[in-house]
Amino acid sequence: MVDYAQIPSACYVLEEAKLRKNLELMAHVQKEAGVDIILAFKGFAMWGAFPMVKQYLKGATASSLNEAKLCHEEMGSLAHTYCVAYWENELEDIAKLSSHLTFNSLSQIERLGSKAKRYNPDLSIGIRVNPEQSDVTTDLYNPSSPKSRLGMTSAHFGDHLPEYVDGLHFHVLCESTSHALEEVLKSMEEKFAPQLKEAEWVNMGGGHLMTREGYDVGHLIKILKAFKEKWQVDIILEPGSAAAWQTGDLVTTVLDIVENGGVSTAIIDASFTCHMPDCLEMPYRPTIIGAGAKVIPGKHHYRIGGLSCLAGDFMEEYSFDQPLQIGDQIIFEDMIHYTMVKTSTFNGVPHPSIGIWREDGRFDLLRSFGYEDYKGKLS
């Protein structure tokens, strides 16, 4: 149990025991299905936790040169790299830091594929495809539209894989179930059968939220084993959320309470637009420990407001048993995946500290941020 009195504010706090539990489940799927599960840095790049991650997963996926470098330095392995487009002047470095390199378009393969192989003859090259099937209903997170810029539809292919290409990569899920993946695989088989017959591997991207309560892990293992046996391919999964799902919180403090128009807003020492952008983009309404997510009669109601000047930097009213006071803690649950990686210092708002609540009951502050971090981004 985290002792929040020990945590500085504002601070992201990863619970080591919860991370290990998620990783153990993912390692179980990896072993039973005979697949490789790698960590997607775009969802979780807290490298202070990588010593544990390396014990369970097979590496990491990178979507930029920076992430490929991080994989080499902190995971100790070559990356499975996919970028929407590659700068030619970075290609040599990326190729040498990668075991697998996936291109988003056939035109980039035609222009850069042979160069990438010259830089790293052992490199395995893939092409991202769009099976045009997904259960994702929020357009912002859905890359499966026939007009999507992410990946090639079957209309671009003949009966064979392009030159240099060993594998296929798709990513059309977001916090989805194994049954949603099953429907995607049916579409893959329908649209890309000729390419699957020639492929050595299939990267099924992320969105496999196998660590969520109620996820049908047995069904996931079953469909992965069946697909692997049918097409005789190696299978790679690269979840972002699954590893860090429900593993930690963002601890904040009430700095002020503003009352206007009959609404009370508790201003915290953090920001939704700077530090929890998915809450505004998705939109996703976070859970606050000890508060109701809806207005409940007889309770005390407060909007939660961020520090930035953006008018919409707030969450609508939550219900509390007692009136909030300046200095009270507001703790947002499940704020590790796809949150820390998206932060900004808009308005110069300080970045929350980063720490780990260790399995032995110690709090370990890994990093705090100051003026030089803000200034260094803008010089």
Quickly state the pLDDT bin for 137 (edges 50, 70, 90).
confident
Nearest C-alpha neighbor of 272 from the set 283, 258, 263:
283
Query: Is residue 233 assigned to a domain?
Result: yes
**Alpha-carbon gap, residue 59 to 71, rounded angstroms:** 8
Question: Are residues 59 and 182 both part of a single domain?
Answer: yes
Residue 228 shares a structural domain with residue 363: no
Last residue of a domain, one of 244, 261, 282: 244
Cα distances (angstroms) measured from residue 46 to each of 38, 201, 261, 375: 15, 28, 41, 22
Does 209 lie in the same domain as 194?
A: yes
pLDDT digits (tens, 9 = 90+) for 303-348: 999 999 999 999 999 999 999 999 999 999 999 999 999 999 999 9
Domain span at residue 269?
A: 4-12+248-335+343-376
In this structure, what are the phi and psi dihedrals at residue 50, rounded to the nearest 5 degrees? -65, -30
Q: How many domains does the chain have?
A: 2
Give residue for tokens 């509390």: 320
The predicted-structure confidence for 67-123, as pLDDT tens digits, reads as follows: 999 999 999 999 999 999 999 999 999 999 999 999 999 999 999 999 999 999 999
Q: Are residues 198 and 316 in the same domain?
A: no
Q: How many CB atoms lie within 10 A of CB 160?
A: 11
Q: Which amino acid does the sequence have at 350?
A: P
148 with 257, same domain? no
In angstroms, what CA-CA distances link 314 with 237, 256, 268, 270, 297? 35, 14, 10, 10, 21
Does one domain contain both 210 and 255? no
Q: Specify whether 68 is located in the same domain as 112.
A: yes
Please provide the distance, in angstroms rounded to a whole number, between the alpha carbons at the two ends of the chain.
42
Nearest to 324 by CA among 272, 379, 261, 255: 255
Domain match, 65 and 81 both: yes
